Structure 1
Amino acid sequence: METSFLSATILLILITDPLGNIPLFITALKQVKPERRRKVVLRECLIAFVVLMLFLFFGKSFLEVMHLTDESLRIAGGVILFLIAIRMIFPSEGASLFSGKLGQEPFIVPIAIPLIAGPSAMATVLLLSTREPSRMLEWAGALTITMAVTTVVFLFSGRLNRLLGEQVISALERLMGLVLTAISIEMLMGGIASYIRHVGSAG
């Protein structure tokens, strides 16, 4: 299945899940002075953007060094996305990774990594870059739009949380999780089918 620019953008937004991460983001910034929060948001989003861009442009070289195939990456990416989607649909109560950092201003961890540039986002940009490397500018554009959306959502996270309420945000996160589940299954089946064809042709 060919990935379009729009579908890649939507996929990346679903994976980074800015709306669903609003409660965790607010918790991570709870002890940061209000006048510092905008700078922290911009800094952390920029760091996450740079990290994902590095994975996008240098991911193929990394896979070659590790002797990993496109099929294995697609299957692994599908599994990771499926696990992330299940957690979005059935969220756990604990958030110890974020609650343990309340006494200081967050730097890189936990907002930039793993809240924004988590394993699933890294695996997805790797997958995009290895499947269709000729469209790197498109993937870079999709990632740029995704990070712009994430930055705007985080900048207005307090207002959105008050406006929508926790129940609406939770419902939206579950809806995104449902869509992401279907995407992960499609990715997983595509990787398995490609592997079977590869083995068949080799035999």
Structure 2
Amino acid sequence: MTVIEVFVNLFNTFGLDLLRSVIALFVVIDPLGTIPLFIAITQKKSKEERNNISRTAVITAGILLILFAVAGTQILSIFGITISSFMIAGGILLFIISVELLTHGGWRFGDNISDDSGVVPLAFPLLAGPGAIASVILSFQTSGLIITMLSILIVIGLTYLIYYMTDPIYRILGRRGSLIITRVFAILVAAIAVQYIVNGLQSILGN
């Protein structure tokens, strides 16, 4: 095997691992699925405020994911927290968010602030939620630092582009369409929350 063939094989392996890591993280984060929530949070905001919220959300989520990818296991162990307990806590918070969406059609606690809505609930627990954190921790352990960091950067970049395009999406849907989709999405958020809690409990009881 020549040196060129060795490099080609290494590149193919690296590319496949990176592609798998990007797809897995993108599916878990599901930025397309969070668009209705983003619209619900930012429907009373100006375009500049929406951009600030989206920028705050993706930057905060990216920092959290990178932090947990590198030191997630150590951080949780310092506080005596397991991934299972973290998933249960995140699931409870997500469920509260889903109830807010179903009953009020939006996240009431973001009405009087411009940037903090990008932290809760967008950055956490939706973008950098228990599933995404568990995903990057596993990616770091199985694929290494470079692939994990690149996958986070790629997915966060795609997420920002998707949020940046919410204006034309909102114009197509209109207020009524957005409210309908938000409430439908709230049910999905509740289901995801329950699944996080169930998975966490199963892991705890299984141990």
Q: TM-score range by the shorter chain?
A: 0.5 to 0.7
Contact kept in structure 2, 1:17 and 1:173, CA below 8 Å: no
Q: Which amino acid aligns with 2:59?
A: I
After superposition, the C-alpha distances for 1:36-67 in whole angstroms (9 at most, x for unaligned) are x86x5775355233344323433222101111
| Deviation for aligned residue 1:5 | 6.5
CA distance in 1, matches of 2:118, 2:164: 14
Partner of 1:84: 97
| Deviation for aligned residue 1:13 | 2.2
2:27 is the counterpart of 1:10: yes
Partner of 1:156: 165
CA distance in 2, matches of 1:112, 1:142: 18
CA distance in 2, matches of 1:144, 1:86: 31
| Deviation for aligned residue 1:6 | 4.8
CA distance in 2, matches of 1:151, 1:77: 22
Partner of 1:201: none
Structure 2: segments with no counterpart, 5+ residues: 1-20
CA distance in 2, matches of 1:183, 1:42: 22
Q: Which of 58, 63, 84 is equivalent to 1:50?
A: 63
Contact kept in structure 2, 1:9 and 1:143, CA below 8 Å: no
Q: Which has the bigger relative contact order, CA under 8 A and spacing at least 6?
A: 1
2:175 is the counterpart of 1:166: yes
Residues 79 and 45 of structure 1: is their aligned pair in 2 closer, same or farther, counting only changes over 3 Å? closer
Question: Please, what TM-score do these two structures have when normalized by structure 2?
Answer: 0.65
Residues 8 and 156 of structure 1: is their aligned pair in 2 closer, same or farther, counting only changes over 3 Å? closer
Residues 56 and 120 of structure 1: is their aligned pair in 2 closer, same or farther, counting only changes over 3 Å? farther
Residues 121 and 80 of structure 1: is their aligned pair in 2 closer, same or farther, counting only changes over 3 Å? farther
CA distance in 1, matches of 2:79, 2:99: 29
2:151 is the counterpart of 1:141: yes
| Deviation for aligned residue 1:119 | 3.8
> What is the count of residue pairs matched by the alignment?
183
Q: Secondary structure at the match of 2:85?
A: helix
Map 1:17-56 → 2, pairs under 5 A: 17-29=34-46, 32=48, 40=52, 43-44=55-56, 47-48=59-60, 49-56=62-69
Q: Which amino acid aligns with 1:24?
A: I
Partner of 1:117: 123
Structure 1: segments with no counterpart, 5+ residues: 199-203
Q: Which amino acid aligns with 2:122?
A: I
CA RMSD of superposed structures (Å): 3.7
Greater share of residues in helix = 2
Q: Which amino acid aligns with 1:118?
A: F
Identity of aligned residues (%): 18
